[in-house]
Amino acid sequence: MDTVVDGASTGWVLICAALVLLMTPGLALFYGGMSRGKGVLNMLMMSFTALGLVSVMWVLYGYAIAFGESRGGLFGFSSGLLGLNDLVRGVTVDEAEGGVVNTFGLPDLAFSGFQMMFAILTVALISGAIADRMKFGAWVAFVILWGTAVYFPVAHWVFAFGVVEDGGEGAGASAGAFAADSGGWIVNRLGALDFAGGTAVHINAGAAALALILVLGKRRGFGREPMRPHNLPLVMLGAGLLWFGWFGFNAGSALAPSGLASLAFVNTQVATAAALLAWIGTERLRDGHATTLGAASGAVAGLVAITPACAAVTPPFAIIIGLVAGGACCIAVTLKHRLGYDDSLDVVGVHLVGGLVGTLMIGMVGDEEFAAGSSGLLLGGGLDLLGRQAIAAFAVMAYSFVITLVIAYLIKLTIGLRVTEEEEVAGIDQSVHAETAYEMMGGLAGNTNTGASSARPPAGAGRTSPTQTETVPS
C-alpha cells in the first residue's frame, strides 16, 4: 500500500469539503426565502442545527458506522474509528504508517471530513418539507435518530468501497480500501453506480421527507391560505451558493483533481443549465410565465439529477439528464396539491424525483468507458445496468421511508412532533425561538402575524419567554 501523502489529492478533497459545507447554509437560504416570513428563522435554524449535531455525531461514531469494517454490507463498525482515533495517529509523519493514508495517497482523515459534509447536507435537506410546524426539540431528536439509523448505514451501502476479495470487476476493485475487507452492498455486491449520492443523499432525504410529513401532517391552512415564498432574492442567493458548492460535491467525489473530476465538473454545470431551461420552459407553457423560483428550482433539480450520474455519462447525455429532470420535477411539484400532502418546499418533488431521474438515467445512457464497464439501455447495454440502478434506488427509498416512519411515530408518541395551533398561527419564529426575522413597521405590509409589535410571551412560555419591556442601560 502506497503510504505517501499525495498533496494534490489531499488539497483537492479538503477544498471540496469546504465547498460542500457551504451548501448547507446555501440550502438554508434557498429554503428560508421560500418559507413564509413568520417561519424563516426556524427554517434557517434547522439547517444550522444539522451542522452542529451531525458534525459531532460524525466524529464520535458516524464515520465508524459508515466506513468501519463492513458487517454483511449493511453497516460498518470499527471501534478504532470511534472519535476518528485511528485516523489521527501518524498525521505528523510524512510517510505515514498504517490506516492514515489509503491507496490514493489521500489521508482517511481528509476523506472523513469530506464525507461529514454530505451527512450534514442530507439531514438538512429534509427540513424543507416541514416548514412552520415542527417542534424544535423534535427536530433535534429527529436529526440524531435519523442520522444514526438511516444516513450512516445507507452511506455505508453506497459510499463504502471495499476491496473485492476475488479481485473481480466490482466498482470498488480499483478504488482503494475505505472499509476493511468488503464495503457496502450497493457499491460492491450490487455494483450500482452512484458517484456522489443520488441514492444515499437525494432519494434518501426525499423518501424520509415524505414519511415524516405523512406523520407530521399539513400546515394549518394548507390549500386554503396562500403560502407564498416571502423572499425570492434569498432563494436565488441560496440556489447560487448550492450550485457553487455542488462542484465540490460532484467533482470532489473523484477524490483527486483528475480527468474524472473534470468530467464530473463539466457534466454538473451543463446538466444544471439544461434543467434550469427545462423548468422555466415547462412552466412558461403550462402557467404562462417563466419565474425566478422556477429558474432556481430547475437548477437545483438538475444538480440533484446529475449527482449520481456526473462521472458515468458524456456531456451531451448530461444535458439530456438535465432536461428530463427539469421537466419531471416541474411537473412533480404540483402533485402535492392534488394528492393533499404538505411537502412545504418540495423536497419530494425535487430531491426524490430528481434523484430517481438521475439514478435511473444512468441505466439508460451510462457510457461503458466511465460506468464501470457497463452501458446503459440506450447505448446497447441491455437492461442489466438499469436493473441494478433500479434495485439501488428502490432499496434506499424503501429503507429510508420505513425507518423514518418508525422514527417519526416514536417522536410523536414521546415528546410530540408539532407545535401547538396557537404557536403555529402566531409564527414558529416568535413562539419557539423568541425572535422575528424582520421588524414590520410598514403597517399592513407583509404578514400581520409576523409583526414585531405584538411581542407577547409565547404560548407555553416559561423556558425563555422574552420580557415585554426592554431595559436600556443608561
Binding site for another protein (CB under 8 A): 226, 228-229, 283, 286-289, 291, 293-294, 297, 330, 333-334, 337, 346, 442-445
Question: Which three cell numbers, joined as nine digits, stand for 244?
Answer: 457553487
Question: Which three cell numbers, joined as nine digits, stand for 85?
Answer: 482515533
Distances (CA, A) of 381 to 69, 186, 213, 249, 384: 33, 20, 39, 28, 7
Cβ proximity to another protein, 296 vs 392, nearer residue:
296
Least CB distance to another protein at residue 43 (A): 16
Question: Which three cell numbers, joined as nine digits, stand for 203?
Answer: 432519494
Cβ proximity to another protein, 453 vs 474, nearer residue:
453
Least CB distance to another protein at residue 228 (A): 5
Cβ proximity to another protein, 346 vs 367, nearer residue:
346
CA distance 194 to 100: 25
Least CB distance to another protein at residue 463 (A): 35
Least CB distance to another protein at residue 341 (A): 14
Least CB distance to another protein at residue 22 (A): 25
Least CB distance to another protein at residue 254 (A): 33
Question: Which three cell numbers, joined as nine digits, stand for 99?
Answer: 490506516
Structure-derived torsion over alpha carbons of residues 256, 123, 203, 169, reported in degrees to the nearest 10: 30
Cβ proximity to another protein, 391 vs 445, nearer residue:
445
H or E element that contains 71: strand 70-71
Cβ proximity to another protein, 71 vs 286, nearer residue:
286
Looking at residue 149, the DSSP 8-state letter turns out to be I
Structure-derived torsion over alpha carbons of residues 165, 171, 172, 175, reported in degrees to the nearest 10: 140
Least CB distance to another protein at residue 293 (A): 6
Torsion sign over Cα 228, 231, 232, 234: negative
Least CB distance to another protein at residue 157 (A): 32
CA distance 251 to 364: 22
Least CB distance to another protein at residue 346 (A): 6
Cβ proximity to another protein, 3 vs 449, nearer residue:
449
Per the CB < 8 A criterion, the answer to whether 346 and 193 are in contact is: no
The three-point CA angle 286-130-424 to 5° equals: 110
Cβ proximity to another protein, 415 vs 452, nearer residue:
452
Smallest CA-to-CA distance from 264 within 323, 308, 299, 320 is with 308
Cβ proximity to another protein, 226 vs 473, nearer residue:
226
Torsion sign over Cα 186, 191, 196, 198: negative
Please enumerate in sequence order all residues whose Cβ is within 8 A of that of 366, keeping only pairs 6 or more positions apart, or say none. Answer: 193, 309, 312, 313, 374, 375, 376, 379, 381, 385
H or E element that contains 76: strand 75-76
Per the CB < 8 A criterion, the answer to whether 455 and 468 are in contact is: yes
Cβ proximity to another protein, 311 vs 333, nearer residue:
333
Please enumerate in sequence order all residues whose Cβ is within 8 A of that of 376, keeping only pairs 6 or more positions apart, or say none. Answer: 361, 362, 363, 364, 365, 366, 367, 385, 386
Least CB distance to another protein at residue 331 (A): 8
Cβ proximity to another protein, 263 vs 333, nearer residue:
333
Contacts 24+ apart (CB under 8 A), 435-438: 435/41, 436/38, 436/41, 437/37, 437/40, 437/41, 438/37
Least CB distance to another protein at residue 444 (A): 5
Cβ proximity to another protein, 443 vs 473, nearer residue:
443
Least CB distance to another protein at residue 250 (A): 25
Cβ proximity to another protein, 357 vs 411, nearer residue:
357
Per the CB < 8 A criterion, the answer to whether 162 and 70 are in contact is: yes
